Amino acid sequence: MDGYLPLTSIESDKLHFSTKAKEIAKFIEVVPNNIPYAISINGSWGAGKSTMLNFIEEELNTGICKVVRFNPWMINNREELILYLFEEIYDCIDKGYTNAKEKFKSYALKISSPLAKLTTLAVSMSQGVPAPVANPVANAVGDIV
């Protein structure tokens, strides 16, 4: 069974991923943080996607970046997804950075209410609820959040 588990240390690289993992980690570190981008790792089951992610994370954790593991596939709806993501990020901010942690919390609270309103409105209207009925419900949900 161990042959099916992802490798966690670049020292045990049997798939020759270390060079590419280091290149990807370096790219992540040097791209300016105001430029949005996405990285996709694709492959069939057992191809080594999790191993590659582990190697990239190991490289990043030695530099200026902090990796936040987020596995959204068990979350049922958008509100939970966003809240769970913010909780994961908040929990990963080191205790020594209390100002950053408080700013992040403040930002999360500011966007959670409008996001809850928007999501409630969109879902209500997609289910055939007329806007005059859906708007007060969305506002009430936003006020609760």
Q: What is the mean pLDDT of residues 74-89?
A: 77
The mean pLDDT value of the chain amounts to 77
pLDDT in tens, 24-51: 999 999 999 889 888 999 999 989 999 9
Q: What is the mean pLDDT of residues 101-113?
A: 68
Instruction: Output the CA angle 11-16-21, nearest 5 degrees.
Output: 75
Would you tell me the crossing angle of helices 98-126 and 131-144 to the nearest 10 degrees? 160
pLDDT score, position 116: 58
Structure tokens at 95: 């205790």
Whether pLDDT at 123 is above 70: no
Read off the amino acid at residue 70: F
pLDDT in tens, 66-81: 888 888 887 887 777 7
Query: Would the pTM count as exceeding 0.85?
Result: no
Whether pLDDT at 4 is above 60: yes
Tell me the CB-side half-sphere exposure of residue 123, using CA atoms within 13 A.
12
Q: Under 8 Å CB-to-CB from 123, ≥6 apart: which residues?
A: none
